[in-house]
Structure 1
Amino acid sequence: MRRKQVGLVAALFAVGVVALTACGQGAAQSGSPAPSQEQAQEQNAPDASAETDPQSGVDLVRGSANSNKADRNTGDRAPATASPEVKQKWVELRVANAGGLEPAVVNGKGLSVYWFSDDPVNGGVSNCNGDCAKTWPPVTVAKGTRLFFPGIKRENIGFVKRQDGATQVTIGGRPVYLFSKDEKAGDIKGQNVGDKWFVINPEGKRAVAPAEAPVAQPAPPAPGTKPANAVTFFSGKNFDDFSGDNFATRVKVEAKCADFRSGFKSLSPDGAVKIWSEPGCKGKSAVVSEDVVDTAALGFPDGVKSYIRA
């Protein structure tokens, strides 16, 4: 009998220790600092909407590589010695300033993207192969590649089959390339080479130096545009979430005004969202349903400071 009682007491003691340990863990967690508003919103936001292109099998994903937490050791930022499979994990084509040309398209490392005048527009072919492709590496993808395209309209993105069977990305119907002599972000050493190679803009045309432009009014959402479920906001213009202290946050959009502690200079929504220049949904407002490269062009020089589902 005593032996049974001793065993029972030991078992109860063990259960008590486990319960106390669990309580202690819970207390430690509840006492941890609350995440910032941006962090909390990003954690609660739905996954970025993605579309699989039926022709190429590529997954087209809203937002940037950073905001979608793309592996920095793969894709556009993979080492030069990495295999094609590793390099094609993800590709980013984003709007930026390239050596003073703006808007221009760059890749996930900030390298300038070019088009070749010998390629027919919407011709479905690339005329840069062999040694040419060594100097001008084509931007290629494969089935399952994640393609991020902040600032470029979906309808401007396409694909062509190359002579070697690889799938190359097109912008505005033009196959796109990098230049082997560009070494860092902002280099445009391939601009005007042979009067046939040019930095490309988001519409598939020549990128040019920006001109002073009046404040623009955003185009109203197309009929049937759905309210946004999520928006990726960037603290820098041109979807900059990688230079300096710039960052991005993906937020869930609801029918209730939400504030930021500071202004966000560009955004990528998955539907219609109403933005304001001041907290509390006050000040200047606009309804947007497409990527905004620079909120200053909409009359928001200090960025977006609050938003609500449109």
Structure 2
Amino acid sequence: MLRNLILAAALSVGVAACATAMTTPVKTGETALGTVLVDGKGMTLYTFDKDTMPGKSVCNGPCAQNWPPLPVSAGAEASGDWSVVSRDDGSKQWAYKGKPLYTWVKDQKPGDTTGNGFLNNAWHVAKP
């Protein structure tokens, strides 16, 4: 039992070290809507149709409380389809193919997609 705990702790430290070196904290997950982009916790990521200017998010203030931006960790670097958006509050957010990425506060567990189609179909699951 103690050996398993030590191995689990070592593995989590290794995973954390890899996460810092990664360029993005995103992977794919399976949902009822098919394969989507998910954050490190497996929560579905979304894009917002009103984010029309590359490198700019219009979801700020109360919007960002309901749709938390996918944060960029210190030292992470953008490449390929991934870019970094500077938000109005000075924080940094990941974008995929120019579209800023968000989670949705009403999704309760990995695989939930309750934000898809929200606000007159302006919010969509992010697809790879």
TM range (shorter): 0.7 to 0.9
Equivalent-residue separation in structure 2 for 1:172 and 1:132 (angstroms): 21
Bigger drift between 160-169 and 138-147 goes to 138-147
1:196 corresponds to which of 98, 116, 122: 122
Match of residue 103 from structure 2: 178
Q: 1:119 to 1:146 in 2, by over 3 A?
A: closer
- Report the Cα offset of residue 146 of structure 1: 8.0
- Residue of structure 2 aligned with 1:111, choices 27, 40, 43: 43
Q: Residues of 1 paired with 2:103 and 2:77: CA distance?
A: 18
Classify 1:191/1:93 alpha carbon distance in 2 versus 1 (closer, same or farther; 3 Å): same
Q: Structure 2: which 5+ runs fail to align? A: 1-11
1:177-227 deviations in whole A, cap 9, x for unaligned? 00011111111110100110010012xxxxxxxxxxxxxxxxxxxxxxxxx
TM-score normalised by L of structure 2: 0.77
Q: State percent identity of aligned pairs.
A: 34
1:16-165 correspondence to structure 2 within 5 Å: 68-70=14-16, 92-98=25-31, 100-120=32-52, 123-145=54-76, 154-165=79-90
Superposed CA deviations along residues 153-188 of structure 1, whole A, max 9, x for unmatched, are: x41111111000111100011000000111111111
- Give RMSD over aligned pairs: 2.8
Letter in 1 for 2:37: V
What secondary structure, in the 3-state scheme, does the structure 2 residue paired with 1:137 have? coil
Higher strand proportion: 1
Q: Which runs of 5+ in 1 are unaligned?
A: 1-65, 76-87, 148-153, 203-310
Alignment of 1:132-281 (within 5 A): 132-145=63-76, 154-194=79-119, 195-202=121-128
Amino acid at match of 1:199: V
CA contact (8 A) 1:92 1:107 kept: yes
Query: Residues 185, 128 of structure 1: CA spacing in aligned structure 2 closer, same or farther, 3 A cutoff?
Result: same
- Report the CA distance between 1:143 and its aligned residue: 2.8
Moved over 4 A (4+): 88-91
Deviation string, structure 1 residues 89-123 (Cα, Å, up to 9, x no partner): 9862001212x2232101111100000000015x2
The 1-side partners of 2:44 and 2:77 are apart by 19
Q: For residues 188 and 125 of structure 1, what CA distance do their matches in structure 2 show?
A: 24
Q: What are the superposed Cα offsets for residues 258-285 of structure 1, whole Å, 9 maximum, x if unpaired?
A: xxxxxxxxxxxxxxxxxxxxxxxxxxxx
Tell me how far apart the structure 1 counterparts of residues 40 and 21 of structure 2 sit (CA, whole Å): 12
Q: Is the 8 A contact 2:70 2:103 kept in 1?
A: yes
Amino acid at match of 2:106: K
Give, in whole Å, the separation in 1 of the partners of 2:58 and 2:72.
18
Give, in whole Å, the separation in 2 of the partners of 1:89 and 1:197.
30
Whether contact under 8 Å (1:94, 1:105) holds in the other structure is: yes
